[in-house]
Structure 1
Amino acid sequence: MKRNLIAKTMILTGGLMLATPVLAADSIDGNWVTEDRDAIIKIGKCGNTVCGRIHKYLVTPPNGTDQKDVNNPNKKLRDRKVLGIAILTGFKPDGKIWRGKVYDPKSGKTYRSEVQRISPTKLKMKGCIAFICQGQNWTRAK
Structure 2
Amino acid sequence: MGHRPFRAFALALMLVAPVGRASAAPADSFGIWRNPGGSVHIRAERCGQAMCGTVVWASDKAKADARRGGTDPLIGTQLFRDFRPQQPNVWRGRVFVPDIGKTFSGTVRLIDADHLEGKGCLIGGIGCRSQVWTRLP
Same fold per TM (> 0.5)? yes
Where does 1:111-122 land on structure 2 (aligned, <5 Å)? Answer: 111-122=104-115
Q: CA RMSD in A?
A: 2.5
C-alpha separation in 2, matches of 1:120 and 1:53: 19
Q: Judging changes above 3 Å, is the alpha-carbon distance between structure 1 residues 68 and 109 closer, same or farther for their aligned structure 2 residues?
A: closer
Where does 1:1-142 land on structure 2 (aligned, <5 Å)? Answer: 26-27=12-13, 29-57=30-58, 59-61=59-61, 69-72=67-70, 80-96=72-88, 97-129=90-122, 130-132=124-126, 133-142=128-137
Letter in 2 for 1:30: G
C-alpha separation in 2, matches of 1:125 and 1:111: 12
Where do 5+ consecutive residues of structure 2 fail to align?
A: 15-29
Q: Identify which range, 132-141 or 25-34, moves more after superposition.
A: 25-34
Q: Identify which range, 24-33 or 102-111, moves more after superposition.
A: 24-33
C-alpha separation in 1, matches of 2:115 and 2:67: 28
C-alpha separation in 2, matches of 1:47 and 1:95: 19
Q: Judging changes above 3 Å, is the alpha-carbon distance between structure 1 residues 109 and 45 closer, same or farther for their aligned structure 2 residues?
A: same
Where do 5+ consecutive residues of structure 1 fail to align?
A: 1-19, 73-77
- Give the TM-score normalised by structure 1: 0.69
* Deviation of 1:27 (Å): 2.2
Among the aligned pairs, what percent are the same residue? 29
Q: Judging changes above 3 Å, is the alpha-carbon distance between structure 1 residues 103 and 63 closer, same or farther for their aligned structure 2 residues?
A: closer
Instruction: Say which structure is richer in helix.
Output: 2
* Deviation of 1:63 (Å): 5.9
C-alpha separation in 2, matches of 1:52 and 1:82: 12
Q: Judging changes above 3 Å, is the alpha-carbon distance between structure 1 residues 62 and 137 closer, same or farther for their aligned structure 2 residues?
A: closer
- State the structure with more CA Rg: 1
Give per-residue Cα distances to partners, 1:49-94, cap 9 Å, x unaligned. 110011112x222666xx865524xxxxx5x411111111111011
Q: Judging changes above 3 Å, is the alpha-carbon distance between structure 1 residues 104 and 119 closer, same or farther for their aligned structure 2 residues?
A: same
The structure 1 segments of at least 4 consecutive aligned residues displaced by more than 6 Å after TM superposition are none
- Give the TM-score normalised by structure 2: 0.71
Letter in 1 for 2:133: W
